[in-house]
Chains A and B, each alone.
Chain A
Amino acid sequence: MTELSQPQPTKPPRSQWLDVWEQFRQHKGAMMGATLFILIVATVYLGPYLWDIDPTKTAIRERNQGPSWAHPFGTDQLGRDLLARMMAGGATSVSVGITAMLLSLFLGSFVGVLAGFFRKLDGPLMRLTDLFLALPLLPLLLVMMLLFREPLNAAFGLERGIFILIVSAIGITSWMPTARIVRGDVLALKEREFVLAARSIGTTNTRLITRHILPNVLSPIMVSATLGIATAIITESALSFLGLGFPPDFPTWGRLLQDGTDYLQQFPERVIWPGLAISLTVLSVNYLGDGLRDALDPRIRGR
């Protein structure tokens, strides 16, 4: 008997995640998005160590200045340094935006997948979604603030308490579209042949959802994510405007944009900076999402 020469693998098997990473790295847009995103995050979190002007320090003699070496972004109507304010505001806005977006995404996908996948849950969960869609936002937020502000402040301190409150307020009031969209896709997906095939070989529901359903609804989720960040940053500013957000001496991008709108004609740069910052953050997340989606799609991998 001749020995059948089994070809020996020369390399360890490639893991799926390694493939994804390879693909992701070769994706030009994704790398650009990632770089930009890291840059923004680094600037807003590490920048204040290099540019150590206090963002709330007023200097009346230097108010309404244009860009200069002392104040590269100029100063606002109280002489506060705009660069420092942009960085301090960014730290808040980026963290609120990302956290709230993740929360809303998680809630939305969770409800959407459950409702789409389990027929029994579809009715109740979708009626719940209808209910949340119908609730008027402002009274809901007011009630949340009324009930939870003091306990949260007592438990976590002022800033963190408000952070938790704002993030959950935004998360709880913005998951519904994601849920509806994900559910729509899941409804169609679960009737596809590959799900049937997976089910017929005895795949459990949990595995079905995580391995077969979720990866296939990733693209609407990614779109929701990018749009969600922008919505969260803007909603935060609307909350502050209503007096439901951070204390008034706390700059955020949304608030800087809102304050700057009044001075649009005199000092246009004052709205350009925060507007640009929000747009760039959203763009970078968008490209990241695109890259991630492409990388996770085995059909176009290696193309």
Chain B
Amino acid sequence: MKLKTLLMGAIACTAMAPAAFAERGKDGNVSIIYWQAPSILNPFLSGGTKDVESSSLIIEPLARYDENGGMVPFLATEIPTVANGGVSEDLTTITWKIAPGIKWSDGSAFTAHDVKFTADYCMHPEGGCAQLTKFEGVTSVEVIDDLTVKVTFDKPTPFPYGPFVGGESPIIQKAQFENCMGAKAPECTEQNFGPIGTGPFVVTEFKPNDVITMKANENYRDPNKPAFATLTFKGGGDATAAGRAVMETGEFDYAWNLQLAPEVIQQMQAGGKGTPIAGFGPLVERIMLNQTNPSPDLPEGERSTAKHPHPFLKDPAVYKAMSMAIDRPLLVEIGYGQAGQVTCNWVPAPAAVNSDTFKCDTQDIEGAKKLLDDAGIVDTDGDGIREKDGVPLKVVYQTSTNAVRQDFQALIKEWWAEIGIESELRNINASVFFGGDPGSPDTFQKFYADVEMYANTFNGTDPQSYLANLLCDKAPKPESQWQGENISRWCSEEYDALHAELTKTADAAERAAIARKLNDMAIEGGAMIPLVHRGRLSAHSNTLGGVVLNVWDSELWNAADWYRKTGS
């Protein structure tokens, strides 16, 4: 722990101190390993984290989130707000002022036209842009002058920082992508593999799904940065190998998202070449409770639909008992270590929206039993499994294939068995489970199981659209090709009404209060059982300085400030 504090201190110091001795390219090569390999460097065409983060070294948005979730201007001069006049009083427009003198890596000037072009590119109906949600509600993007751009929304938008903010919404160069609009987008291989950007690095060679080599951007706005002349970005393999390459063999400087058992991380750290760092976004590992009946006896098309309510999971006694029987601190200890925290909430971050209504950090098997007994859900036929109205409490418990999840399944199955609920475990290949193929019975949307476990999160710091996931009309159903975010098919008119209020509220404190209330309604109403608030655990080499782990934006958001520590 001491070492970590020291390191943090060191990082803070260097961040404060003006880098007087800094010089572009003096530190040679830096190497990064992601166990998922980037396929394309145009985040508008992919949406995968690996692609967004690798491209964030090259192309930048107007503003980014920092490590605390606050916004910092990158290409803009300041963050527009109602107070500084950047956001109109009626909340329908936002005007960005671009910092003067910014150049693309090819030497041409960065202007408002590029910003407008980016919006047009993504909003093109045939383009299949992955970041379309960032532009939700945008009616027009106007160029006021070369350094001013105005975004107009179709209705008052209390949180107008969707477009051009964060790693998912960077600006691409108009001159380069002009002929790549709409259906032509995928044909522009050269552009998609080597976008011209304003970021600290430019691509020298891109081998899709393998490796990217980059060099420092000659035209980067800070003449002393980046400290590294070249950068190697290797992809592929698995988290174990990535962690090993940074912390044990020292071949790489930075490894992303090491989802590994705490013991394994510890062992690697003992290698002495690197340090793991953790940060917490809103990612929550949870168990979704199916509100509808997934029984295979029902005809296809009615299974897991609102037509047939679940025989026992809607009973508060049942889902509360299931939650009480879980030893969350133990789950954290076994599965995530320093990269996990106990949570009872669906939205545990940012801090302002984290509700404190529930307590769930102690396991209470006896209490759970009592709760079920009191509700009259008892074992009537002596097989050790309780029945509710003659239906035995047997659940099918599915999740994606992942070592930690399978450990969780084993533990939770046992705890539930203690309170008289039997579970049948299933694990499904992640690419099938998270894929939306309506023909497959094993997708998480189709939810042909009683409970399922996975993690979900949202981008940025505003939970409005994330909270919309539990609206009644978002339930996956056969008519919508089983698409929809309301996985548990939970439905409450009260919730829908309160969410509608959230979309109209502008005041930050009030928004947070409503968000907390929505969170409480969902948990109280049994839409899900939150288990672990998961952090991001990455690792950097002990010789790499300037790393600030950021879970609200791309992890590589400040790669321009990275440097090689001398004397180590």
Distance to closest chain B CB from A62 (angstroms):
13
Q: List the A side residues contacting B334 at CB < 8 Å.
A: 60, 63, 77-78
Q: Within the assembled complex, what's the spacing in Å between the Cα atoms of A266 and B414?
A: 26
B264 within 8 A of A: yes
Task: Assess whether A265 is in contact with B267, with CB atoms less than 8 Å apart.
Answer: yes
Chain B nearest CB from A151 CB (Å) reads: 11
Known: A241-B401, A262-B260. A248 touches B410 (CB 8 A): yes
A265 to B261, CA, bound (A): 13
Query: Which applies to chain A's interface (DSSP): helix, strand, loop or mixed?
Result: loop
Binds A, one of B11-19, B55-63, B204-212, B421-429: B421-429
> Could you write out 22 A-B pairs with CB less than 8 Å apart?
A56-B410, A57-B414, A58-B410, A60-B411, A64-B263, A77-B407, A78-B411, A80-B410, A142-B429, A158-B424, A243-B427, A243-B430, A243-B432, A243-B433, A244-B429, A248-B406, A248-B425, A249-B406, A249-B425, A262-B261, A262-B403, A266-B264
Interface centre among A57, A58, A80, A248 (most CB of B within 10 A): A248
Chain A 137-154 against B: per-residue CB contact (8 Å), 1 yes, 0 no?
Answer: 000001000100010001
Q: Which A residues lie within 8 Å of B440 (CB)?
A: 146
Q: Are B424 and A243 in contact (CB under 8 A)?
A: no
Interface size on A, residues (CB 8 A): 26
In the complex, which residue of chain B has the Cβ closest to the Cβ of A241?
A: B401
The number of A-B residue pairs with CB atoms under 8 Å apart is 71
Closest to A255 in B: B406
Residues B430-488 near A (CB distance < 8 A): 430, 432-433, 439-441
Question: Residue A298 at the B interface, CB < 8 A?
Answer: no
Q: Which of B252-268 contact A (CB under 8 A)?
A: 260-261, 263-264, 267
Contact A146 B427 (CB under 8 A): no
B residues near A (Cβ < 8 Å) are 240, 260-261, 263-264, 267, 296, 330, 334, 400-401, 403, 406-407, 409-411, 413-414, 424-430, 432-433, 439-441
Q: Tell me the complex Cα distance, A156–B357, Å.
A: 47
Q: How far is the CB of B324 from chain A (nearest CB, A)?
A: 18
CB pair B425 A247 closer than 8 Å: yes
Chain A contacts for B432, CB-based, 8 A: 142, 243
Q: A1 on the interface (CB 8 Å rule)?
A: no
Which residues of the other chain, A, contact B330 by a CB distance below 8 angstroms?
A: 60
Q: Which residues of A contact B441 (CB under 8 A)?
A: 146, 150
Q: Please measure, in the bound complex, the distance between the C-alpha atom of A57 and the C-alpha atom of B411, giving whole angstroms.
A: 9
Pick from B409, B429, B439 the residue with the most CB of A within 10 Å: B429
Q: In the complex, A119 Cα to B414 Cα: how many Å?
A: 60
Residue of chain B at shortest CB distance from A142: B432
Do the beta carbons of B414 and A248 come within 8 Å of each other?
Answer: no
Residues of A within 8 A of B425 (CB): 247-249
A: residues with CB less than 8 A from B are: 56-58, 60, 63-64, 77-78, 80, 142, 146, 150, 154, 158, 241-244, 247-249, 259, 262-263, 265-266
The majority secondary structure among interface residues of chain B is: helix
Contact B263 A77 (CB under 8 A): yes
Chain A residue, CB-CB nearest to B333: A60
Assembled-state Cα–Cα distance A262/B243 (Å): 12
* A161 smallest CB distance to B (angstroms): 12
Instruction: Given A64-B263, A243-B401, decide whether A150 and B296 contact each other with a Cβ distance below 8 A.
Output: yes
Chain A minimum-CB-distance residue to B239: A262
Q: A146-B441, A262-B264, A265-B267 are in contact. List 16 more A-B contacts (CB 8 A).
A: A58-B410, A77-B263, A80-B410, A146-B439, A154-B296, A241-B401, A243-B426, A243-B428, A243-B430, A243-B433, A247-B427, A249-B413, A249-B425, A259-B403, A263-B263, A266-B263
Given A58-B410, A243-B401, A248-B410, the answer on whether A77 and B261 have CB atoms closer than 8 Å is: yes
Would you call A262 and B410 a contact (CB within 8 A)?
no
With a cutoff of 8 Å between Cβ atoms, the chain B residues found around residue A259 in the complex are 403
List of 6 A-B pairs having minimum Cβ-Cβ separation, nearest first: A243-B429, A243-B401, A248-B406, A243-B428, A248-B427, A243-B427
Docked CA distance A39–B440 (Å): 43
Minimum CB–CB distance for A81 against chain B, Å:
13
Tell me if A248 and B426 are in contact (CB < 8 A): yes
The chain A residue with its CB closest to the CB of B428 is A243
Closest to A59 in B: B414
Q: Nearest residue in A to B268 (C-beta to C-beta)? A: A265
Task: Give chain B residues whose Cβ lies under 8 Å from the Cβ of A249.
Answer: 406, 409-410, 413, 425
Closest Cβ of chain B to A40, distance in Å, is: 26
* A154 CA to B295 CA, complexed, in Å: 13
Chain B residues with Cβ under 8 A from A242's Cβ?
Answer: 401, 429
